[in-house]
Every structure is written in C-alpha cells, then in structure tokens.
Structure 1
Amino acid sequence: MSSPPRDESSSGDDTPTPPTDEPMPPTDEQSRERDASSSVGEQAQDFDDPIGDLLPRASVDSRWWYWIAAIPLYVVLGGVLAVLFVGAFLFDLFLTGGIATVFGAFIVLPVLGLLGLVLTILFPVATYVDARAIAESDASWTPDPLVWGLAALATVVLSAFTLSVVLALYYLYKRHVAVGTP
C-alpha cells in the first residue's frame, strides 16, 4: 500500500504540511475582481435581448436617433407637399392644362413613397438599436429595446405614421432628458 505524496515544503516550524485536495480560498484581490466584473455585467444588461447580434450595436453617441427624428419631419414634409399638390392641381386644372399635376404625380409622389418605404423599415430598427444603446449605457433612463422597437413597428404598420409621430417625439424627449441629445 502506498501513502499519499507529502508536500515537503516547510512552514515556519520546519514541519512538513500535508497536501489537501481542497481549493484555496480566494484572496481579497481575486474576490474584488470577481465582484467588479459581475456588477459590470449586471449593469450592462438589465433587459432581455432576443435580437442579440443580428442588429448592429451602437453607442449613445451614435446617429441612429436621426432616423427616429426623420419621422416627424417626413409627416410635416408630406403635409406641406400635399397642400402644394392640391394648390398646383387646382391651378393646373384651370390655367395650364396639366403639366404641374404630371410633375407632382410622376416625380414627387414616387420619391415620397420610396422615402416612406425606407422610413417604414428603418424606424423600428433605429428605435430598437438606439434604445438598446441607451439601456446599455449608464443613463438615467433604461428603455426596453424590444418594447420600443415593437411599438415603433406597430405604429408604422397599423397607423401609417399617424401615431409614429407621437411615439417618435416622446422617445426623442425621453432620450433628451436622459442623454442630452437631440
């Protein structure tokens, strides 16, 4: 029968200490590092992120909020152009014989439609990415990116930008209070 190997290292009284299979308790420095890394992980992710890395990660200083701010501008621009189109149509109907209506119908409307399509796709994406950036930062406001992204998608799809203006303005206001921009 063999005996377990002995640790021949000496302690203060020159008697050998028997080896143990028990792990050594962590030093104060190791426990501080572990506590610091766990608290950083908890602060950085206080929300579920089902999208993960499918969408780009952004910082709070990114310009994703520009797409959110484009929604109210698009609606105002569309309203102004609608009034101008009606005025041009009435002017064209009675005086020029149709040239302004053709320009408005075949040039301006497709451009506005294409811009609306781009905003329809990018508004929910930008809202999600920007809300995730704010939630991962140390800002005072922690928006849930999934809720804000789905709300943006619902307002675009269900209300054709009518409620999107309200949502975009409210989001930008909350962002301004928490982050300072826009």
Structure 2
Amino acid sequence: MKSKTMTVAEIVRSRRTVKKYNDKTVNENDIIEILNDAVWAPNHHLNEPWRFLLFQEEGRNKVADAFLSTYGDAEIPTGAQNKANYFRNVPAALLVVMPDSEDNHQFTEDICAVSALIQNFQLLAWEKELGVLWKTGKFMHNPLFKEKAGVREDERVVGLLLIGYFDEAPTAKPRTDAREKLTIYK
C-alpha cells in the first residue's frame, strides 16, 4: 500500500474505505498528528469551522449509546443494535462537527472546508496505514444523538469517522472517466 515515493495522485487512487479493522489500538497521538495536518484544508477567511470529538476504549460506548438514543422508547431494530455494536468495537471513532448556520453562503463555505479536512484526514491516515470509514446518516441530525454525543445545539455533525488498522485493503471499484461528466464551454 505505502511507498516512500508515492505521488499524491497515487495516494488518492490507492486510498480505500475500510470497514473491517483488526484489534491493533490506534494511538491518540497519531490521530492528533493527522488532525494537525488535516486542518490545513482550505477554509474561507481561515475561520477553521471544525471541532472534533474522539471516542476510544470505553468512550466508544458513548457514541453507540447516543446512536441508540435516537430510537427513543421504540423497539430498537436488530440492524441498529448491530450498528451500535460495530461502533463499540471499532478502534476509534471521531465525530467531526461544524457550526450550524442559517446563512446559506456561510453553510456552503463551512461544509466545503470541513469536507476538505475530512478528505485530508482520510489521505493522511492512509499514509499511516490506517483505514477510515466516513459515516453519515439521519442519526447525526437527531437532537438526542447530538446531546448524548457531546455535540452542542449550535453545531451540526458532518461525519463520524471510524478509524483503525486493517489486515487487508478492500478492492478498488471502478470510477467513471471524468470526461463523461465534464461539460466544456469555449
């Protein structure tokens, strides 16, 4: 996977979304180091519209319980129980949040910046042979999830990054040639 002479293009093309992790512990300092590089993402006026919540070891129960809380008093489906167990067993989970904004322009700038940061994080993690799954879903917008996970009322969750070492990288899936989605005006 990794070579000392990999180009940026090679790293981008080799990165995979990893869903199956081994039991090797992810060092908190490695995540902090990756974040300190990832924050060099472009962001308008350098407002750095991001905040992070890291769940490791017993802390993973907090994010799993927050996810399950979105079902309220309803019976929790087996699939949701399985997802919560998955959250409890990943080596590390990182919630990436940003300020919520009613201003469409500000929201667009912030979501783009945070998404660029997340992509930086994924590429930098891959360089360290760490796999990342960028998880999104309706649960992220649920006030109960946000409250139980430690997200402030004035924030929105952009993604839950599941992080860990892996034994085998998933196989690449083909991509559509950009020319098929490109319109050129001259």
Q: With the length of structure 2 as denominator, give the TM-score of the two structures.
A: 0.28
Q: Which has the higher contact order (CA 8 A, sep 6+)?
A: 2
Query: Which one has a larger percent strand, Structure 1 or Structure 2?
Result: 2
Larger Rg: 1
